[in-house]
């Protein structure tokens, strides 16, 4: 309501429009130091909830019941009398996280890792009411998930207003709200310690807000709020050697959260993001020196996909992208974040340096095309690839897995634990180029090759721009 009143005042009073925005300042008196955060908490805390993710897991049975002789007498899976003593009992695993209600209809934002693998999800509100929830959208790449509370009729819930994470500055006061260690809703206070942290290793889109507000296990999915009580981030991870807070916490910026929420509201089950259609390289101090730059900044264009958005905009190999829509770029992760927070169908202005000249290029934001059907295959035949799921490489898959779409081959989408593929060291994003001297162009090629048992397998794979050749046992 305060935000609406401010907007009306600006529209109704031309004189007010000319006044500069108030600048942050430090307390100037003992009375100001005693000011309380209670009004901010009262506005935002009711929208922060507990998220209980329940999952069933089989318990390890006594090894004696693995023997058919004992199963015959005591009963076992498939034997007379049902599961009997030989069947491993199931136990319920219960993990606790936090979430934030972002819509009065009951939309809740939390972390993907909080609800991953859950069979049942329950939401406990600030006022102790509990509800079942369903998953509307999972986005592992941003470590976000959107839930919907199963409400009765048109029941309404306390929700929080979105802020603007791009408006944050290092030193701004923030509050972290969540349920650390399951002790109950807790509010901690700190400042924005840093912005645009890109080397955290938590998600594909790394562009985190760092804060010293205490964040502990159980806070995942909780709210980082500004002094107006607006959501500016979703608390996601901490750096810790003990498992507890040491004042280095990371939150996903709300401008990224907003994109995922909007796509969930539209009914989408996955998040589509704009595609640049270019390979990028971080500028090292050595590269900066060779280019005559005063410091390492921007990203170098290594490759351009023909007929892709970058090519249509006039971007060329060797160009240095230094800003997107006026926001400075220091590494590829920064550019991917700026693109990911803009809508498909819009445009983005790139500030580019080419041969010492400054250019402005406009990229039309479009999704990466799936020019080749995925033809997903889970390899089961006895081979080093058993347990790997492979798909055909296309711009859409390349963008999703962050691999070079100019490479020809089949890409490993995921690798199951405790399988030959995992033991061989394969990873998601590895592009299989050759097997035993035969080119692998489609998933059906690999499927055909592994049907013939071999004593040894010669495999050529591209990983992160490097071609690796390995000899693996059959």
How far, in Å, CA of 219 to CA of 257, rounded? 17
Among residues 230, 224, 220, 219, the alpha carbon closest in space to that of 209 is found at 224
Contact residues for 214 (Cβ-Cβ < 8 A; gap 6+): 176, 180, 188, 190, 245, 247, 249
Is residue 67 a known part of a binding site? no
pLDDT of amino acid 101: 96
Per-residue pLDDT of 394-428, as tens digits, reads: 888 887 787 877 777 899 999 998 899 999 999 99
Q: 394: helix, coil or strand?
A: coil
Is the per-residue pLDDT at 82 higher than 90?
A: no
Annotation says 127 is catalytic:
no
Is residue 298 a known part of a binding site? no
25 is written with which tokens? 């300042």
In the beta sheet, which residues pair with residue 77? none
Catalytic residue among 44, 95, 103, 143: 143
Say if CB 461 and CB 431 are below 8 A apart. yes
In the beta sheet, which residues pair with residue 256? none
pLDDT of amino acid 57: 62
Catalytic residue among 113, 165, 193, 245: 113
Contact residues for 64 (Cβ-Cβ < 8 A; gap 6+): 70
Is residue 405 a known part of a binding site? no
Angle between helices 254-265 and 332-340 (to 10 degrees): 40
Among 30-44, 78-92, 149-163, 197-211, name the most confident range: 149-163
Is residue 218 a known part of a binding site? yes
How far, in Å, CA of 260 to CA of 268, rounded? 10
Q: Please give the residue that has the higher pLDDT: either 442 or 117.
A: 442
Is residue 143 a known part of a binding site? yes
H or E segment and range at residue 135: strand 130-139
Say if CB 242 and CB 271 are below 8 A apart. no
Annotation says 143 is catalytic:
yes
Per-residue pLDDT of 111-161, as tens digits, reads: 999 998 888 999 999 888 999 999 999 988 888 999 999 988 888 999 999
As a whole-number percent, the residues of the chain with pLDDT over 70 amount to 82
Q: In this structure, are strands 431-435 and 347-354 parallel, antiparallel, or unpaired?
A: unpaired
pTM exceeds 0.75, yes or no: no
pLDDT of amino acid 66: 52
Catalytic residue among 159, 165, 203, 220: 220
Per-residue pLDDT of 48-57, as tens digits, reads: 999 998 877 6
Among residues 84, 83, 40, 66, the alpha carbon closest in space to that of 188 is found at 40
In the beta sheet, which residues pair with residue 313? none
- What domains are there in the chain, each with its CATH number? 45-149 (2.40.10.10), 165-265 (2.40.10.10), 274-367 (2.30.42.10), 377-473 (2.30.42.10)
Per-residue pLDDT of 297-321, as tens digits, reads: 889 999 898 889 999 999 999 999 9
Say if CB 148 and CB 134 are below 8 A apart. yes
């Amino acid at each position: 309501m305060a935000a609406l009143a401010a907007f009306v005042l600006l529209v109704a009073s031309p004189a007010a429009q000319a006044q500069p925005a108030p600048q942050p300042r430090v307390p100037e008196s003992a009375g100001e130091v005693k000011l309380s955060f209670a009004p901010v908490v009262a506005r935002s805390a009711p929208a922060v909830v507990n998220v209980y993710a329940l999952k069933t897991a089989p318990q390890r049975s006594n090894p004696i019941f693995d023997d058919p002789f004992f199963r015959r007498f005591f009963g076992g899976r498939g034997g007379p009398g049902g599961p009997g003593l030989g069947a491993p009992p199931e136990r319920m695993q219960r993990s606790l996280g936090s979430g934030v209600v972002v819509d009065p209809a009951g939309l809740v934002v939390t972390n993907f890792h909080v609800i991953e693998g859950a069979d049942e999800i329950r939401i406990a509100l600030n006022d102790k009411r509990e509800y079942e929830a369903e998953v509307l959208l999972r986005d592992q790449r941003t470590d976000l998930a959107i839930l919907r509370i199963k409400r009765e009729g048109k029941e309404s819930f306390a929700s929080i207003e979105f802020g603007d994470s791009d408006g944050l500055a290092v030193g701004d006061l923030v509050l972290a709200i969540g349920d650390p260690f399951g002790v109950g809703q807790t509010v901690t206070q700190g400042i924005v310690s840093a912005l645009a942290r890109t080397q955290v290793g938590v998600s594909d889109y790394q562009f985190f807000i760092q804060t010293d507000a205490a964040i502990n296990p159980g806070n995942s999915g909780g709210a980082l709020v500004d002094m107006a009580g607006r959501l500016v981030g979703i608390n996601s991870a901490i750096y810790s050697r003990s498992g507890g807070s040491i004042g280095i916490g990371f939150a996903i910026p709300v401008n990224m959260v907003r994109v995922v929420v909007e796509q969930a509201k539209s009914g989408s089950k996955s998040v589509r993001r704009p595609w640049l259609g270019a390979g990028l390289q971080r500028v090292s101090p050595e590269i900066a020196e060779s280019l005559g730059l005063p410091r390492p900044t921007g990203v170098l264009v290594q490759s351009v996909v023909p007929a892709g958005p970058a090519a249509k905009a006039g971007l060329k190999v060797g160009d240095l992208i230094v800003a997107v829509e006026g926001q400075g770029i220091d590494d590829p992760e920064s550019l991917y974040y700026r693109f990911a927070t803009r809508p498909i169908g819009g445009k983005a202005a790139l500030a580019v340096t080419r041969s010492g000249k400054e250019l402005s290029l406009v990229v039309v934001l479009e999704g990466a095309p799936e020019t080749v059907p995925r033809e997903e295959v889970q390899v089961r035949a006895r081979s080093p690839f058993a347990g790997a799921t492979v798909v055909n490489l296309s711009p859409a898959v390349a963008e999703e897995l962050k691999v070079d779409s100019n490479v020809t081959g089949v890409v490993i989408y995921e690798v199951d634990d405790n399988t030959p593929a995992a033991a061989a060291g394969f990873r998601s994003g590895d592009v299989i180029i050759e097997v035993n001297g035969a080119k692998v162009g489609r998933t059906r090629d690999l499927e055909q090759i592994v049907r013939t048992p071999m004593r040894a397998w010669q495999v050529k794979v591209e990983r992160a721009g490097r071609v690796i050749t390995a000899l693996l046992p059959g």
